[in-house]
Structure 1
Amino acid sequence: MLKRPGAGSGLIAVALSVLLAHGAACAADYPSHPVTVVVPYAPGGNLDVVTRLVTAAMGRTLGQTVLVSNRPGAGGLIGHGVVAKAAPDGYTLVTTASGSYAYSPKLQSAVPFTPDDFTAIGLIGITPQVLEVSARGRFQTFEELVEYARQKPGEVSIGHAGNGTTNHIAILQLEQALGVKFNIVPYNGSAPALNDLLGNQIDAIVDQLPSSLPHLNGGALRPLAVTSAHRAADLPDVRTLREAGVADFEVVTASGLLAPAGVPQAIVEKLNDALNQALREPAVNERLTGLGTEVQVTTPVEFGKFLQGEVAKADALASQGLLSAQ
């Protein structure tokens, strides 16, 4: 027998309707003052440039200034922590990168946020990575490098831009997929890794395509494969690792916008719409492409699912002892 709804259920219904009405009212007035987007890295880097380009266009749609605040430190963790603790009103966002969101936390004993502290707004784009060797090096093809690594475990040296970067993750996942062991060499950024590769001090590196492209175009470096699921627009003749026989392989650097958890859904949708309108502007799209970013227009749900997948990859690597606090 069904029970007659009591006074309690009526109060709950009233409370919910008040909350929904309040959220809608907030969204209608939003934004009433400038929005701040935190970049968790120093000024002048690729993520900073991308953020300033996109947020300027978003401001035109929102009818408000969108300010950029750089909060670097701890591999991007400090800036994320600032936004995780901000009021969930849509006025403080962070430009995230998949490495600092999912992988860097596995390398720190104290992390000022969890994935549950954020609401996904939308993806800006992805940056392919490239496995490359010196044109004067001992390996001419991907197959040669892999065969040597199988015959002599730990002797093929592959560099990356730093522990916890997606360059590093790509090498770890390539080791797993191929069943080989590389001599993995961490650097403090792409520049020193590139210098050692150009000087034949190491055999190969995995690097972000934009920083390596001048050396590839100039013939000093030879691309063996890209790590994305599809060929890179800037290297249309270079195979993906999937095409080279590494099934289902995909590691890219992704950037996008996050807000603190609890931001009203109507505001999330308004921010997502402003972001996507910015990405569709021809001038913005062309400039992002020139920076090596392949623009991706998504919903908040789609971006959230992508980030969940990155966290799952990081958890799997950590459970195997491949990513651990220093």
Structure 2
Amino acid sequence: MLRWIAAACAAWLGWAGAAPAQGQAQDFPSRPITMLVVFAPGGATDVLARIVADHMSRTLNQRVVVENVSGAGGTIGGARGAQAAPDGYTLTVGSLGSHSAAPSIYRSIQYDPRELQPIGLIAGTPLYFVVRNGHPAQDMRQFLAMAREAPGRISNGHAGIGSTNHLACALFAHITGVEMNNIPYRGEGPAMNDVVAGQLDSACLLAPAAVPQIQSGTMRGLLIAATERSAGAPAVPSAPEAGVADYIFQGWNAVFAPRGTPEAVVQRLDGALRAALTDPAIRARIESLGSVPATPAAMGPEALRNLVRTEVERWAVVVRAARISEP
């Protein structure tokens, strides 16, 4: 009898504890949601986050407020997002760098991307190698010749140690054998701004940051790290056309929540992100930036979970080979 009473009490307590959480999930969201972007404003991660945040705000009938938390290759913002309350009110938009390569680079990292609650992929992001207006190199062959004649003289910017851009720059140096003066920034936006201002010779920039500037004529693209040209910047040669056929690289951006976020909340957020990415106007806007919106097969938490697991393993090998480490 006593055992039966104890079991009944335990069951009741479990139900009582679950009921409020269940109710909170059903009422979600009842207040604004913060979407942390792990890099400074103006870069690819920031641009794509703001596009989907605006649409998700309308779907959820609550503001989704973007907050930039940059530094340490995106791991400062990544840690803050991972350690937030698992209630769906703090999301993180991360990248290949911050949520795949970072664990192999940063000894002090305070989160494991594989243990986060994935919400969904936003887009794949092709990479452009760009130079400032006025740079004497008219194409990639001339640029490489200049870089080889004066090792370490040409300045090249990226979004910080371990960022997607940094990995792309490391791959470029490995394939071409050139040595440049690589300068880490606190995000892609500041590096882009210095190229536009003529204070930086070159940079590895993802499509949402590079394409608008190339279109407006404030910088020049020497190649897109892909096998074909992009409709967003059709004048920029593909990697094979530019003479660097092996330089194929694509980053990605995705939305994460803290581990332990209730399933009902995850489903609500997944639905809002899907609504954004299946809206023809949103897809067209992302494509106009040279990015590739997630396909239906690549959408959703499980697809993103599988992507992150695969990418963490793949980039661990690359990072070791390139000897990239925390400064």
TM-score range, shorter chain: 0.7 to 0.9
How many pairs align? 303
Call closer, same or farther: CA 1:136–1:61 in 2, change over 3 Å. closer
Query: Are the aligned partners of 1:124 and 1:255 in contact in 2 as well (CA < 8 Å)?
Result: yes
Q: CA deviation at 1:286?
A: 4.2
Worse overlay, 168-177 or 24-33: 24-33
- Find the residue that maps to 1:70 and give its secondary structure: strand
CA RMSD of aligned residues (A): 3.9
Paired residue type of 1:246: A
Give distance in 1, aligned partners of 2:294 and 2:305.
Answer: 14
TM-score, reference length from structure 2: 0.73
Corresponding residue for residue 129 of structure 1: 127
Give distance in 2, aligned partners of 1:130 and 1:71.
Answer: 23
Corresponding residue for residue 154 of structure 1: 151
Matches within 5 A, 1:1-326: 29=26, 31=28, 33-34=30-31, 36-41=33-38, 45-46=42-43, 47-48=45-46, 50-62=48-60, 64-68=61-65, 70=67, 72-75=69-72, 76-104=74-102, 108-134=106-132, 136-146=134-144, 154=151, 157=154, 159-164=156-161, 165-178=163-176, 180-188=177-185, 189-191=190-192, 193-195=194-196, 198=198, 202=201, 204-213=202-211, 216-217=214-215, 221-228=219-226, 230-241=228-239, 244=243, 246-247=245-246, 249-252=248-251, 254-289=252-287, 293-297=291-295, 298-320=299-321, 322-326=323-327
- Find the residue that maps to 1:320 and give its secondary structure: helix
Query: Are the aligned partners of 2:38 and 2:75 in contact in 1 as well (CA < 8 Å)?
Result: no
Call closer, same or farther: CA 1:214–1:87 in 2, change over 3 Å. closer
Q: CA deviation at 1:239?
A: 3.1
- Find the residue that maps to 1:263 and give its secondary structure: coil
- Find the residue that maps to 2:239 and give its secondary structure: coil
Give distance in 1, aligned partners of 2:146 and 2:245.
Answer: 17
Q: What runs of 5+ residues in structure 1 fail to find an aligned partner? A: 1-10
Q: Deviations over 1:182-215 (max 9, x none)?
A: 224215332454157x47x74x432234444465
Paired residue type of 1:306: L
- Find the residue that maps to 1:325 and give its secondary structure: coil
Paired residue type of 2:178: K
Give distance in 1, aligned partners of 2:93 and 2:238.
Answer: 27
- Find the residue that maps to 1:130 and give its secondary structure: strand
Q: CA deviation at 1:96?
A: 1.7
Q: CA deviation at 1:118?
A: 0.6
Q: CA deviation at 1:146?
A: 4.3
Q: Deviations over 1:97-118 (max 9, x none)?
A: 3333234555544222112331
Give distance in 2, aligned partners of 1:56 and 1:25.
Answer: 27
Query: Are the aligned partners of 1:34 and 1:67 in contact in 2 as well (CA < 8 Å)?
Result: no
Q: CA deviation at 1:132?
A: 2.7
Worse overlay, 271-280 or 160-169: 160-169
Q: What runs of 5+ residues in structure 2 fail to find an aligned partner? A: 1-6
